[in-house]
Structure 1
């Protein structure tokens, strides 16, 4: 029996949903879509182990505006739940109603790991579950963009895609999966959240478009040929361009450390402070290179967070740090952080 079957007619119905997070981007910029139109796009770096969980209790017969969310500051998730209620009620031929949305999870806010999108998708899935229905990824993406203006492709499967975040659509499926990577994660700028709305506007001209399209071609080739080094070059080039807006003071140290430890490159969150040094797991001396990377980051005052792999085969070997404990993450961009969260995001 599904969660939506609990309770009789007119009784409260509940549903649950969840969504994953990511570790920033491998590529972000401006690209052409299939019609030749210019649009913003990104390719995220997936990361297992963190995400949002939602439980939605709908109350048939109550006004749809009587919808509450806990924690109360999750305005984007609240908007998403309201939109999802309307969509699911329409599909079921029922009037929309109110309810209560509860969110939990461990994604740090403001670091560029998709915390708001994860909340939004978990909320939409919980609402759909309460109605006993399933919403396809493109519908979830549309609702997510309406709720937060731009979203990450966390509603899709693990295939690497170039995603138009402001439109909620896939520009290109780059291949079946990323080449195997080991990522030594860290945070820049003292882990300060990034207010993306306060960043200066970045005008993208035809020169920028050609550069990003070239990186797109290289990333497509890297995925097709499983070329870890080429993928690292693309991610580094995109990160360098991203620093034109973010201006993290430790970024130069990050790019200096990477070649010294035999890394293939670096990646960053283009809308946050999380970053990573990318290693080829097939190259000799992986454990030594990870340890050298961690020491070099710490010696430069850069907090190390988590080492993880993009493929299940190497995750257990390379993941470091204590297991993350569940619970609500700090609410709001300026909420105090518990230091225990940084060693293992």
Structure 2
């Protein structure tokens, strides 16, 4: 691929950049866990781990990268310290971009800011990695295709959510291979999501979890859920979307074992929700509502109150399918998956927090 105009910010000098240095910026949004995750057949009939994320704009990672010509390509300083996956992504992206320009690779300085809670299964590390790759490419003046970014992300962290392809249609994405198995349709069915944090909002150490183990019966089950989700997307069937999310979350309990899962599903049923979804690598969860029947606001309020009574912290309300006729006021919800957060203001306010506010005082949700 040849060099083109930068994706986001043109090369410029700053007070921190020395003579001849170039600075690039990149941004990536997060997601709200998965609607479906398991094992599926790829185009060659080979079993392959894959997932369908629940997109959500709002929180995200922003990366600023300053090239330091003449330094070794693995000499990358990162702020905050400890973002080892982002650092690995920067080194890989530096070599990739330099090779495309037939230039000598060099090191640089990476600064990450954002507001994605860590360890809840919202794609915080992938967001860091993608923002970093975009910032490095921007500093070089190179545009990288999403599939190239996906390959670099998988090499940097071992697996990657499909955030480099957002916003876009729902995808069944092979996270350990960085490729799409299937585009399921134009958009997820309309759903309003009441987000919450399980496990007291504590981060989950995914490396300490048992590795997923699937057998032939699991493959049949997940392929059935794949067909259901495909039909839900094609028909705009919110109830079927909820059934898929709940079934996938229930299967995921074999690995995550959330003690609140029975309570969460019981509250969802009582509130008239269509289902639930839970991140397969963390404690973030959502109760899914069809926005079209009357009384949505009352159901959301009741559900939030019931969650709090059970010690489950409500966190946010957002929708998968914004429209002019949405029952949620534009002033009252977080940005939605159809809004391209990369075109809005970057999240520059603070370093990413370690987790949500999980105090037992009443959570202030957007008015609905």
Where does structure 1 lack aligned partners over 5 or more consecutive residues? none
Report the Cα distance in structure 1 between the residues aligned to 2:72 and 2:277, rounded to whole angstroms: 46
Matched residue, 1:5: 11
Please name the residue that 1:136 is paired with: 145
Q: Which runs of 5+ in 2 are unaligned?
A: 335-346
**Partner residue in 2 for 1:148:** 157
The 1-side partners of 2:261 and 2:276 are apart by: 10
The alpha-carbon distance between structure 1 residues 178 and 336, as it changes in their structure 2 partners (threshold 3 A), is closer
Aligned-partner Cα distance in 2 for 1:276–1:308 = 10
Which residue is equivalent to 1:22?
31
| The one of 346, 350, 353 aligned to 1:327 | 350
In 1, distance between residues paired with 2:181 and 2:292? 31
Q: TM-score, normalization: structure 1?
A: 0.93
Contact 1:10 1:60 in 2 (8 A): no
- Whether 1:207 aligns to 2:252 is no
226, 231, 240: which one pairs with 1:221?
Answer: 231
Structural mapping, 1:305-324, within 5 Å? 305-313=315-323, 314=326, 316=330, 319=333
Q: Report Cα offsets for 1:34-71 as digits up to 9, x if no partner.
A: 00011100000001111000000001222212210100
**Partner residue, 1:267:** 277
How many residues in Structure 1 have an aligned counterpart in Structure 2?
337
Structure 1 runs (4+) deviating above 4 angstroms are: 1-4, 7-10, 335-340, 342-345
2:270 is equivalent to residue 247 of structure 1: no
Paired residue for 2:342? none
Offset, 1:311: 2.4
Q: Which residue of 1 aligns with 2:178?
A: 168
Change (3 A) 1:173 1:77: same
Q: Spell out, residue by residue over 1:196-233, the C-alpha distance to the aligned partner (whole angstroms, 9 max, x if none).
A: 11112332110000000000000000000100000100
Q: Distance in 2 between matches of 1:86 and 1:139?
A: 13
Deviation at 1:325, TM superposition (A): 8.9
What is aligned with 2:207?
Answer: 197
Partner Cα distance (1:11, 1:338) in 2:
43
Residue 61 to residue 160, structure 1, CA distance change in 2 (3 Å): same
SS at match of 1:111: coil
Of 53, 58, 61 in structure 1, the residue corresponding to residue 62 of structure 2 is: 53
CA distance in 2, matches of 1:142, 1:243: 29
Name the TM-score, length of structure 2 as normaliser: 0.87
Quick one: distance in 1 between partners of 2:278 and 2:41?
Answer: 23
